Amino acid sequence: MVGFVTAVSDGVLAAYLPLLEVLPEFQGQGIGSELVRRMLDLLGGLYMVDVVTDPDVVPFYERFGMVPGTALMLRRRDLLR
């Protein structure tokens, strides 16, 4: 496996893409784009598909029609070990 994408959805209205990962040596070959394209096809009937990402990755997701928005997050770093 060189990459994967995951989605969490209620199956009716909304989905969230928490992870898109491609091994560094395989990045830049369109693998991540194809994974996102396939996931969006699977989620095509939903009203909203959200991604929270770093600013430098925003242009990647904009290619799929996503637009920047406002998000709030809680990160419990104390739970990571």
**20-44 mean pLDDT:** 97
- Count other Cβ atoms within 10 Å, centred on residue 15: 20
**What pLDDT is stored for residue 73 in this prediction?**
86
Q: What is the value of pTM for the model shown?
A: 0.88
**4-22 mean pLDDT:** 97
- What single letter denotes the amino acid at residue 17? L
Order the strands of the 3-9 sheet from edge to edge: 3-9, 14-22, 48-50
**What pLDDT is stored for residue 81 in this prediction?**
79
The tokens of 66 are what?
Answer: 């996503």
